[in-house]
Copies of this chain bind each other. A is one copy, B any other.
Amino acid sequence: MNFSEFMTITAKTVDAALDRYLPPETADPKVIHASMRYSVFAGGKRIRPALTLAAAKAVGGDQARALPAACAIELIHTYSLIHDDLPAMDNDDMRRGKPTNHKVFGEDIAILAGDALFTHALHLLVQVGRDTGISPSVLLTVVEEVTKACGSSGLIGGQMMDLMAEGKSLVEEDLVRIHSAKTGALFRVAVRAGAMLGGGSDEDLAVLTAYAENFGLAFQITDDILDVTGDQAVIGKLVGSDARNRKTTYATLFGIPEARRKAEQACSEALTALDRLGKEADFLRHAVQFVALREY
């Protein structure tokens, strides 16, 4: 199975699980569930949950035990997109080729749908996780790490720094700090959660953490490059938005060739980190190629 086949199968598994785990649209209050589902099933590539499942496999674990955490992380990713897109934040009208949540449901429902997705993510992580037979102690560690990654030193802190940085000129150190919080923290916990739920050793966890941090960095740099060079029809949102918002990115700070070099360097370090893992880590290796070569 090559990586693209793995991604297709994983996305199907994750989508089916998300459909089972989310409240149905027929449950009251219907509109909040419709709004949650609208953004969850709006064409996400499911990269984060794929990393969670691949990390569980890489340490020789059972992917099924990591599935609730994988889905929780995808719901958290969706919640952060809904809130970031709000008029009071980045004010984006389109996401993945579709109108953003608040354009369809209104700001009030979009705020609540984001809140509800985050809440539901943690609920299913615990509830389904227990049913899956994961030890309470491991599950608590995962909840602790996930909530840490989402807090004011992670996801939320990164968005906060990003809002404050608009129109300011940044140096590389600032960029690293913003991105390691805003994008990096969730990639990191996606991989670590998979490794923990798969029963990985402390040494496994250390190398996979190094992998995840470099993967996240490469992903972010590629994202910045695509905002300049990308094809709008493929990406599904306006390109050039960073320049219009006067945002400093890896592309604007270093220029495209040097940004590419930095992305390649991070990819190479991500691969090196996996050296002591065997064939079971191949999907994590392929994921690096995928992120380096992606066009959307």
A interface, CB within 8 angstroms of B: 23, 27-29, 31-33, 36, 83, 86, 88-89, 106-109, 111-112, 114-116, 118-120, 122-123, 126-127, 130, 135-137, 139-140, 143-144, 147-148, 150-153, 156-157, 159-161, 163-164
A207 nearest CB across to chain B (Å): 25
Contact with A156, one of B86, B112, B143 (Cβ below 8 angstroms): B112
Q: Which of A36, A86, A151 has the most CB of B within 10 A?
A: A151
CB atoms of A151 and B116 under 8 A apart: yes
C-alpha gap A58/B144 in the complex (Å): 29
CB atoms of A126 and B147 under 8 A apart: yes
8 pairs, CB–CB < 8 Å, chain A vs chain B: A23-B152, A28-B161, A32-B157, A109-B163, A120-B151, A126-B144, A130-B144, A136-B137
C-alpha gap A36/B157 in the complex (Å): 12
Given contacts A89-B111, A136-B136, A137-B136, contact A147 B160 (CB under 8 A): no
C-alpha gap A136/B134 in the complex (Å): 12
A254 nearest CB across to chain B (Å): 24
Q: Which chain B residues border A83 with CB–CB below 8 Å?
A: 111-112, 115
CB atoms of B160 and A119 under 8 A apart: no
Q: Which chain B residues border A27 with CB–CB below 8 Å?
A: 152-153
Q: Which chain B residues border A152 with CB–CB below 8 Å?
A: 23, 27, 29, 32-33, 36, 116, 119-120
Q: Which 8 pairs of residues, A with B, have the shortest CB-CB distance? A: A136-B136, A88-B107, A123-B147, A29-B160, A88-B108, A119-B151, A136-B137, A116-B156
CB atoms of B123 and A160 under 8 A apart: no
Given contacts A115-B118, A122-B122, A140-B139, contact A160 B88 (CB under 8 A): no
